[in-house]
Structure 1
Amino acid sequence: MAGKIFDVIGIGLSCVDLVMKVPKFPEVDEVVVTLEYGKHFGGVAANAIVALARLGAKVGFIGKIGADSFGDDILNEFKKVGVDTRGVIRDKDFGSPLSFIQVDNQGDRKISHYPGPAPFMSPQDVEPLRDYIASAKIIHLDGINPHSAIRSAEIAKEEGTLVSFDLSTSLEAVEIFGLTREDVINFVKPMDVFIPCKLAAKGLTGEDNFEEAAKKLLEIGPSTVAITLGGGGCVAANRKEVVKKPAYMVEVKDTTGAGDAFHGGFLYGLLHDWSLDKTAQFANAVAAIKCQYFGARSGLPTEREVEKFLKTAEPL
């Protein structure tokens, strides 16, 4: 991929996460005292891009945010970690994307989300960014707006850029946006890399056996598939092999963004032409390290920190 300036450009949602640590989730009309509070930053593709930046990759981001103080915070946070922001669009008609997240003592979470202008990013918004998309080795999509994501993927294919797609929700959740299972399958077909969560993988294939699910997903079209299994680690597959790698034993403080951290680690391995086994192991380690911190981006490691972790890490 000679002539490519960026390793990966993410396209999708970037938001502010207001995170509260609670002893338990409140019942209806119940008030619980928050033990810890913080303003963090999120968004599936955005988090993966920040993970890649921390690992040492050269990255950028395309997305739509509000022309408000939260939008300023989002841009400043990107710039702080070295994410190029020339593809970020400011929209004066909407507030920036915002999530309210509660995390309990077990590290489980509940999320309320206001998407802001992100779902309204159109193919027309993407079109002027053709050269920017063409400057990346890989674009990573979260599909928050299928129409702009599809156009981004088409441009990438025309320009010799690989396309990665993260589906980190169930098919039932996708249906809220008016998409059917067939729509999702058609979206996945041209992808080079597909990284679904276990709920999405099962919904698309009907398989409880995730090694078999990975094989079926390859038949749809992608050349590489990785299924995130939470505490079960991951299953990864390409045309040559299928591997299953365990998660790692850590003190879990917050699982928010763990899947996104995995995506960043996995794409980092692909960028370096590592074996599928090493790539999956590395991605699991990035996710495990992140889970020891509150907030979707807190604790994201450097490559050296991952290597150090793997020397003593115990698999679950």
Structure 2
Amino acid sequence: MADPDALVAGEALIDMFPTTSERLADVEQFKRRAGGAPANLAVAMTRLDSTPYLWTKLGDDPFGTHLEDVLTEQGVPDRFLNVDPARKTAHTLVGDDPDADQSFVFYKEDSATMAMEPETVPDDVLTDLAWVHFGGVMLCEEPARTAMLDLADRATDAGCTVSFDPNTRSDLWPDPEKIGPTMREALELADVLKTDREDLASVLSDPEAAINDVAKELTTVGPHTVLLTQGKAGTYALATADAPWGPAEADEPAVEVEAVDTTGAGDAFTAGAITGLLDGKSLGATVRFANAVGALTTTETGAMAPLPTREAVEQLLA
């Protein structure tokens, strides 16, 4: 297999799903699933025949061993699957929430997952890549925050397209006051942004503005391409003249499927978007492809198991 031309950076962790439908405090049994947005994304890209490197850090514990086994079985290269002998792997409880699609309780403090170090990925690797993606969870605390921003900065210098998927859940951040400044710093380093209006409300002048105005404002902060997911309303995308595939605008409806579980759908969408753009698809074709990847992922429980192949996506769109 040829060396990957993309790298995904961020957390691989364990998602714990209740075996019964009740509030998390009352659940007695859980089922374990490999998860973490960047890990989901890397596996999704592999299923789409655009296998990337995954740079992550695992604990030297049963959870870490399981994640390493799953990722390698899925075909993700192990070059940057680092193991920390002194720390444990993070995990997340995933439960039902009457006010949202899901609720999450993160256990990540002092974990190997958040102990990623700057300059782990050498410059000579970056110069051979076309694309680098980093996720927002890793920006919540040090040293992972510095590691991600350093990677994005060096990837830009190496000529890579840099994409970013933020996560501004305040319960993830030890110091929520850092959310706004950190998001702005990350956006300045990003070429492609995948988000929704809620996740970046802290940096928008008017989060309730029309979707095209939200996208335009975000392109003034740094990214030349903005992908705004809107759930059942589909996806709006905008690219400026600085984008290799632009200028362009796309407003694509959601792909209708029988949804069972939305875990990982956003990560699958991002994998589809990166794959489409790496393949040279137009912005509109990329969004249609990515919408289909995300939709198919909702048809089974879990984040990785239902990730579709390229053939399945093309069949859905046919």
* Fold equivalence (TM over 0.5): yes
1:50 paired residue among 43, 48, 53: 43
Match of 2:141?
A: none
Aligned residues: 301
Deviations 1:132-187 (A, max 9, x none): 33332111101413210111012212222221111144578557465141331122
Match of 1:22?
A: 20
Tell me whether 1:298 sits opposite 2:299 in the alignment: no
TM-score, length-scaled by structure 2:
0.87
Q: Tell me the amino acid that sits aligned with residue 120 of structure 1.
A: A
**Residues 154 and 91 of structure 1, relative CA distance in 2, 3 Å threshold:** same
**Residues 251 and 33 of structure 1, relative CA distance in 2, 3 Å threshold:** farther
Kept in 1, the 8 Å contact 2:55–2:81? The answer is yes
Tell me whether 1:78 sits opposite 2:76 in the alignment: no
* 1: CA distance, partners of 2:32 / 2:122: 30
3-state SS of 1:187 partner: helix
Deviations 1:199-246 (A, max 9, x none): 123332223222211111111121111112222221111012322212
Match of 1:88?
A: 81
Deviations 1:27-80 (A, max 9, x none): xx6x3576xx53211111111111100000121111111011111111111111
Q: Tell me the amino acid that sits aligned with residue 180 of structure 2.
A: R
Match of 1:273?
A: 280
* 1: CA distance, partners of 2:33 / 2:233: 26
Match of 1:238?
A: 239
Higher mean displacement: 248-257 or 203-212: 203-212
Kept in 2, the 8 Å contact 1:87–1:129? The answer is no
Match of 1:134?
A: 127
* 1: CA distance, partners of 2:42 / 2:55: 11
Match of 1:248?
A: 255
Could you list the runs of 5+ residues in structure 2 that have no partner in the other structure? Answer: 139-143, 241-246
3-state SS of 1:164 partner: strand
Match of 2:11?
A: 13
Q: Tell me the amino acid that sits aligned with residue 15 of structure 1.
A: L
Kept in 2, the 8 Å contact 1:19–1:103? The answer is no
* 2: CA distance, partners of 1:46 / 1:133: 19
Match of 1:284?
A: 291
* 1: CA distance, partners of 2:314 / 2:305: 18
* 2: CA distance, partners of 1:157 / 1:100: 35
3-state SS of 1:287 partner: helix
Could you list the runs of 5+ residues in structure 1 that have no partner in the other structure? Answer: 312-316
Kept in 2, the 8 Å contact 1:107–1:253? The answer is no
1:120 paired residue among 115, 120, 141: 115
Tell me whether 1:195 sits opposite 2:188 in the alignment: no
* 2: CA distance, partners of 1:218 / 1:158: 20
1:262 paired residue among 260, 266, 269: 269
2:101 paired residue among 101, 105, 108: 108
Kept in 2, the 8 Å contact 1:6–1:137? The answer is no
**Residues 268 and 128 of structure 1, relative CA distance in 2, 3 Å threshold:** closer
Q: Tell me the amino acid that sits aligned with residue 163 of structure 2.
A: S
* 2: CA distance, partners of 1:128 / 1:283: 28
* 2: CA distance, partners of 1:203 / 1:50: 31
**Residues 246 and 128 of structure 1, relative CA distance in 2, 3 Å threshold:** closer
Match of 1:314?
A: none
Match of 1:210?
A: 211
* 2: CA distance, partners of 1:33 / 1:128: 41
Kept in 1, the 8 Å contact 2:197–2:207? The answer is no
Kept in 1, the 8 Å contact 2:13–2:113? The answer is no
Q: Tell me the amino acid that sits aligned with residue 54 of structure 1.
A: R
Kept in 2, the 8 Å contact 1:105–1:253? The answer is no
Kept in 1, the 8 Å contact 2:56–2:81? The answer is yes
